[in-house]
Structure 1
Amino acid sequence: MSEKNLPPSRFLFCIIMISMFILILSSVFLLGFTNSSLIPKSVFKLILLNNSSVCLNREQIRLPLFSSDISLANAKAPLISGGLNCGNSCSAKYMPSTGQNMNNAYAPLKVFMYDLPPDFHFGLLGWKGKPNQTWPNVNNPDDIPPYPGGLNLQHSMEYWLTMDLLASNISTARPCSIIRVKNSSQANVVFVPFFSSVSYNRHSKLHRDQNISLDSYLQNKLVEFLMSQDEWKRLGGKDHLIVAHHPNSMLQARKKLGSAMFVLADFGRYPTEIANLQKDIIAPYKHIVKTISAGQSAPFHKRPILAYFQGAIYRKDGGIIRQELYYLLKDEKDVHFAFGTVQGKGVSQASRGMGSAKFCLHIAGDTPSSNRLFDAIVSHCVPVIISDDIELPFEDVLDYSEFCIFIRASDAVKNGYILNLLRGISKGQWDQDVEKIDGSFTTL
């Protein structure tokens, strides 16, 4: 049988497909056998609430920031600690002792922090230092203004990160895993100390004599300042870290500063070209309710409430599901599903309620996340997450499925689905979930 010649068009198509296959295959091998990725990774892979110390391999965070995924030793170690004492940080475990070569792995992360005027940070809390004084004296607790209470606390990440950097150079018995450097050329990351959440919460509304809110004014001045700095121009801002934990903070500036790394609560109100997991960090909320210690936590049989939710019920966007679940669950005798605020005794009521419940519902609201998850954790109330688009802090090292229950919104609204699922969980299973909460977190 004689062999037929391929038509020219089909022959050309085959050549193109073979060439594309070879190109893709070679790219895969190239990326697989190199220590670098084409996408810059965040250097703050672990931020400890109330203690921002980070354990990273220095060789993997050297500028420019084109490092591969960072492998973390002892990934199950507690992620959240309290206080500003560097001795409580991960550095005590991973840092070399005095006299050893500081070029070893787990050398301190070097952070350069801009000396922005107080108007951008502690001045927003009412602090007034001496003439030409930029920062409060962290050696004197009386000189440090407290962060506003109530719901403001949930977005206080900016405050704690700044405080830790200010305290990082204070002499201590054990070394910090982060240090503040005065020369930006020595830094691994550049920190922008703008209290954007306080600025939004307290200064985003226009007063009668204003054409622009103070919050908008500060954002504009911040953009103007950063764009003029050599540090920003060096890498186009890719090594800068900006905290915008409140979902509505940095509304005017976020697009212009989108090349920087953001510390966020979630991605609910950000387009993917501005914020994404390739460069940004999802950080935990600061809990609002009182922490219950393991010894004081009520056991399974002394928690009469099966499922607990208290908060705003009528929400927009993905939060419409709250209204649906309210009408589905509100009349169940062992379910507490009610409207609530932080006003009056709202926080103390929520503390008692969560401490008396076996399961606490974390339902999507205006945004996918809220501090309610962390309120549940400190109450030893097993979280039930009903939020399809949620991104959780430190998911690369912390398996939330070990102590949380995830329910798809489409399943949650089915009559009887949530109740049948929760009532089917035994005391033994519940005890294991609570133990895993204690194993993953210390005090929030």
Structure 2
Amino acid sequence: MEKMGGRDHIIMAHHPNSMLDARSKLWPCMFVLADFGRYAPHVANVEKDVIAPYRHLIKTFVNDSSGFDDRPTLLYFQGAIYRKDGGSIRQELFYLLRDEKDVHFSFGSVVANGINVASRGMHSAKFCLNIAGDTPSSNRLFDAIASHCVPVIISDDIELPYEDVLDYSKFCIFVRTSDAIREGFLIKLIRGVSREDWTRMWQRLKEVESFFEFQYPSKKDDAIQMIWQAVARKVPAIRLKVHRSRRFSQFNTQRYDEKLV
């Protein structure tokens, strides 16, 4: 730790509540995180740390040949509706969307048969809502990717895995929170997406889904490989910081001080 002040160490702290007491002391290290929702900006930030995907919970849609007309649900969300902090928008959206035709917006959990129900629902939907919860991100985005259900992301502070090399706008729709809670805005936006645009995003989802799959043993371009590649891309910037910090070395300071004695 001493030689580089901890900057050459990597710490897996993926869950937002990981290492609550230790993180303030280990901040020079590179963290592998789900998001920065419960971290002070000087402790964790996009400059030095790596965002990793959650492991999706629903079943991967294998051999998906479903087209636009084969997914009867326009917009799908199933999960906890009443959340705190930034997730309070879920409740507002529930009241805005609950009576809309071909929209599924309901409470759900992983208990009982919840995962199978969500799998069927997301596999039969064109668009899947990814709304901020207690923190900006959740596994729901990665459930949508595995389902080839075009994610609609409403989370202003979300950080995304590998975004320095992956353009999420090619397969996701981003909506500002302030726009999403305007009456009629979100549903009009989604209904306005053409069959051609949806199909392009659906195809791209199938091309990138392997980047978010955790496999053992790891395979080429799966989540494990993508995370290590993201770590490698951080190394030059870390090396630059370390080298700059050594410009006025202890050796030169000591030699000057000795002359004064």
TM over 0.5: yes
Distance 1:408 1:297 in 2: 31
Q: Which of residues 35, 39, 46 is equivalent to 1:270? A: 39
Matched AA of 1:339: F
**1:342 has 2:110 as partner:** yes
For residues 147-201 of structure 1, what are the alpha-carbon distances to aligned partners after superposition, in whole Å with 9 as ceiling and x for unaligned? Answer: xxxxxxxxxxxxxxxxxxxxxxxxxxxxxxxxxxxxxxxxxxxxxxxxxxxxxxx
Q: Percent identity?
A: 64
Matched AA of 1:381: C
Matched AA of 2:60: T
Task: State the partner residue of 1:33.
Answer: none
Task: State the partner residue of 1:14.
Answer: none
Q: 1:297 to 1:314 in 2, by over 3 A?
A: farther
Matched AA of 2:192: G
> 1:241: how far off?
0.3
Matched AA of 1:288: L
Distance 2:105 2:163 in 1: 29
Task: State the partner residue of 1:332.
Answer: 100
Matched AA of 2:136: P
For residues 179-233 of structure 1, what are the alpha-carbon distances to aligned partners after superposition, in whole Å with 9 as ceiling and x for unaligned? Answer: xxxxxxxxxxxxxxxxxxxxxxxxxxxxxxxxxxxxxxxxxxxxxxxxxxxxx11
Task: State the partner residue of 2:204.
Answer: 436
Q: Secondary structure at the match of 1:338?
A: strand
Q: Secondary structure at the match of 1:252?
A: coil
Is contact 1:305-1:357 (8 Å) kept? Answer: yes
Q: Secondary structure at the match of 1:410?
A: helix
Task: State the partner residue of 2:48.
Answer: 279
Q: Which of residues 166, 180, 192 is equivalent to 1:398? A: 166
Task: State the partner residue of 1:236.
Answer: 5
> 1:245: how far off?
0.5
Matched AA of 2:174: F
Q: Which of residues 261, 280, 285 is equivalent to 2:30? A: 261
Matched AA of 2:79: G
Which structure has the larger Rg over C-alpha atoms?
1
Q: Which of residues 139, 151, 154 is equivalent to 1:371? A: 139
Unpaired runs of 5+ residues, structure 1, are 1-231
Distance 1:297 1:288 in 2: 21
Unpaired runs of 5+ residues, structure 2, are 214-261
**1:427 has 2:199 as partner:** no
Number of positions where the alignment pairs a residue of Structure 1 with one of Structure 2: 212
Matched AA of 2:29: A
Q: Of the two structures, which has the highest relative contact order with CA contacts closer than 8 Å and spacing of 6 or more?
A: 2
CA root-mean-square deviation? 1.0
> 1:297: how far off?
4.2
Matched AA of 2:191: R
**1:315 has 2:105 as partner:** no
> 1:439: how far off?
2.4
> 1:304: how far off?
1.0
Q: Secondary structure at the match of 1:442?
A: helix
Distance 2:64 2:38 in 1: 38
Distance 2:165 2:54 in 1: 18
Q: Secondary structure at the match of 1:420?
A: helix
Q: How does 1:23-38 map to 2 (within 5 A)?
A: none
TM-score (norm 1): 0.47
Is contact 2:146-2:209 (8 Å) kept? Answer: no
Task: State the partner residue of 2:58.
Answer: 289
Is contact 1:266-1:391 (8 Å) kept? Answer: yes
TM-score (norm 2): 0.79
Is contact 1:308-1:357 (8 Å) kept? Answer: yes
Is contact 1:289-1:348 (8 Å) kept? Answer: yes
Is contact 2:89-2:132 (8 Å) kept? Answer: yes
Moved over 4 A (4+): none
Q: 1:349 to 1:251 in 2, by over 3 A?
A: same
For residues 84-117 of structure 1, what are the alpha-carbon distances to aligned partners after superposition, in whole Å with 9 as ceiling and x for unaligned? Answer: xxxxxxxxxxxxxxxxxxxxxxxxxxxxxxxxxx
Q: Which of residues 69, 72, 79 is equivalent to 1:304? A: 72
Is contact 1:297-1:380 (8 Å) kept? Answer: no
Q: How does 1:23-102 map to 2 (within 5 A)?
A: none
